[in-house]
Each structure stands twice: as C-alpha cells, then as structure tokens.
Amino acid sequence: MLGQNEQNMKKRMEGRVAANKISMVLFGLATAVGLIVLVLLFYRVLTQGVGYLSLDYILNFPAPYPEEAGIYAGLIGSIFLMIIVAVFAIIIGVATAIYLEEYAPQNRFTDFIRVNIQNLAGVPSIVFGLLGLTFFVYMFSFGYTLLAGGLTMALLILPVIVVAAQEAVRSVPSEIKEASYGMGASKWQTIARVVLPAAIPGILTGAIIALSRAIGETAPLIIVGAATAIYTLPDSLLAKYTVMPIQIYNWTGRPQEEWQYVAGAGIIILLAVLLLMNSIAVLIRNKYQRRF
C-alpha cells in the first residue's frame, strides 16, 4: 500500500515537472515573439529615418519638400504640451488620490467614485478629445490653442495617475503614519512629510506610464485643433501649436516615398524625447526609493 502511494506521488510530481517545463517554453516563446517584433520595428524605423536625421532636421520648420522639412515646431510644441499636461494631471491626480484615501468617508459613494475612476482609465482617447472640444474649445472659449490641447490630454491621463497614486498612498505602512501622529504631527503634516515622500516612487511610476501615453497620442489633439503644419513657435498658452505625432501622421499620409523616411526620423526624435523624459522620472523615483 505504501509503495503504491509512493508511485502515485512520483507520477504526480513528474506530471507537474513536465507541465512546468511546457509552461516555461510557452512563456519563453511569447516573450521572444514580443521581442522580435520590437526589434524589427526599431530596425525598420532606424533604417528609414537615420538618413534624414540631422541638426537641420531638428531645427527646421515643416516644408513642402522632404529634404527641407523639419520637426522643430512639433518638438517644441510637444515639450510645451507635456509641461502643461504634467502640471495639471499630476497635481490634480495626486490631490484626488489623497482625498479619496485619507479624507473621504469610506462608504458606497466613495467606492462608486473609485470604480468609475478606474473605468475611465480604459475609455478610448477619442472620447476625451470630444470632451475637450466641447468644454475647453467651445464652452470655455479657449479655442484651438495649446492650453485646450494640454487640458484635454491631462484629462486623458488623469485616471491613470489617480489610480497609481491611490495604490502608492495605500501602500505606505500604517506604522509610519501612527509614529508621526504619536510625535504630535497633524494629519496634513503627516501626509505632507511622511505619506507623500514615501509614496513618490509609486506615483512617479504611474506618471511615467501616463505621460508616455500622452506624448504619443494623436486622435484627441486632432479633435481639439492641433495644426498639421505650423511655421511659428507657441509664444503663449493661447497660441496655435502642433506636436510630433501629428507631424509624423501628416508625413506618412503623403504618397512620395521620401516622406516615409522623414516620418521615420521624426519617430526617432519622438522616442528620444520619450526616453529622456522617462529617465528623469526614473532618477527622481530611485532617489526616493533609496530614502524610504
């Protein structure tokens, strides 16, 4: 009887080991497929765009000829737009998360708000574009300006930042907060000097993901009137503007093959700006991770 049990246990163990090996192979193949597609995409972009990538390309405005076209207006417009988006989305998102986690009463209405904020994170971007067109462009009379575009994109990424900030604030150990209260600190002092610094790594992780989405979006900005070609830089929040994704989209729609190479160079610049922005955020996040 004992020998039969040992044999059955051995068979079950062998089956589990075999299933583990099969799963490992399948997961490895899935990862390899994703990496291969990513490498091919980078190779395609680099081989198309490197030939047109130069200082003149970065500093030139759009032009009717591929050899004279540049991405300067889109580059500066994207930087200005991301500054507006980051300021509004991060401040409002973190403030909302703090209220929901630290001040709001724990009842069904608060749970209803939390669930709907999570649902908003999955709404298609074109819906936020229509919302921005209705409120910021027409109702508030901002027009087709940089401010209207920035506020629209801030609405787009706001749910992601709120959810990430909630999780970050919730993950702060209660012992740390209780120690702060024990030292005589008020609730706001505890939030400002203990909770927020400890939650910054998680908040910045969500901000990185959200801003990475925002810098590559095209549909909402087309809805709220970003220009496809502009020959001046925005000099105020109410100025006309364009961004790199819209310029790239415009170039890829032209029939001449040379414009595809110009678009490839624009994608390289867009990726470089994205990596630089993310690197700065990661450095700030790592600093606070070491501290707490």
Amino acid 150: pLDDT: 93
pLDDT in tens, 67-83: 888 899 899 999 999 99
Q: Tell me: pLDDT of 84 over 70.
A: yes
CA nearest to 68, candidates 56, 78, 79, 76: 56
Report the pLDDT averaged over residues 162-185.
Answer: 86
Average pLDDT, the chain: 86
Q: Which residue has the higher pLDDT, 2 or 26?
A: 26
With a CB cutoff of 8 Å and minimum separation 6, the contacts of 96 are 117, 158, 162, 165
Q: Which residue has the higher pLDDT, 31 or 180?
A: 31
Distance CA 135, CA 126 (A): 14
CA nearest to 85, candidates 214, 266, 275: 214
pLDDT in tens, 52-62: 888 888 888 88
Domain 57-288 = CATH 3.40.50.10260? no
Among residues of the chain, what percentage have pLDDT more than 90? 25
User: Cα 146 to chain center, whole Å?
Assistant: 19
**C-beta neighbour count of 126 within 10 angstroms:** 13
Amino acid 279: pLDDT: 85
Among residues of the chain, what percentage have pLDDT more than 70? 96
Contact present, 19 and 33 (Cβ < 8 Å): no
Amino acid 4: pLDDT: 67
Whose tokens are 């999955």? That residue is 122
Contact present, 199 and 233 (Cβ < 8 Å): no
Distance CA 13, CA 49 (A): 54
Report the pLDDT averaged over residues 119-136.
Answer: 89
Amino acid 94: pLDDT: 93
Amino acid 1: pLDDT: 52
Q: Tell me: pLDDT of 229 over 80.
A: no
Q: Amino acid identity, residue 11? A: K
Q: Which residue has the higher pLDDT, 90 or 174?
A: 90
Q: Tell me: pLDDT of 86 over 60.
A: yes
CA nearest to 63, candidates 260, 262, 249: 262
pLDDT in tens, 193-215: 888 888 888 888 888 889 888 98
Amino acid 102: pLDDT: 87
